[in-house]
Amino acid sequence: LLLRTIARRAVPVLRGHTVTQRANVSGRPPKDAVGPMETVVGIGMFSMAILAPSGWILAHLEDYKKKD
């Protein structure tokens, strides 16, 4: 009975400090236009981030197959 009473009083206090998350969604066009050079650099960086590790693994596949 005592533990139940303590739990009932403690739960609202513990849950009272929750942080509500809000998404920053905007339906407006961007303030500054993204130029073609920025687009090429951005797509290039994303491509390198995805393709470089897999290319490294494929280039060194024979090294990984060797049993030392």
Q: What is the pLDDT of residue 14?
A: 64
Q: How far is CA 20 from CA 1, 8, 15, 26, in A?
A: 33, 23, 12, 19
Instruction: Determine the Cα–Cα distance for residues 24 and 20; give it in Å rounded to an integer.
Output: 13
Tens digit of each residue's pLDDT (9 = 90 or more) over 15-55: 665 556 677 777 778 788 889 999 999 999 999 999 999 99
Q: What is the pLDDT of residue 63?
A: 86
Q: What is the pLDDT of residue 41?
A: 96
Q: What is the pLDDT of residue 47?
A: 96
Other CB atoms within 10 Å distance of the CB of residue 46: 10
- The more confidently predicted of residues 66 and 57 is 57
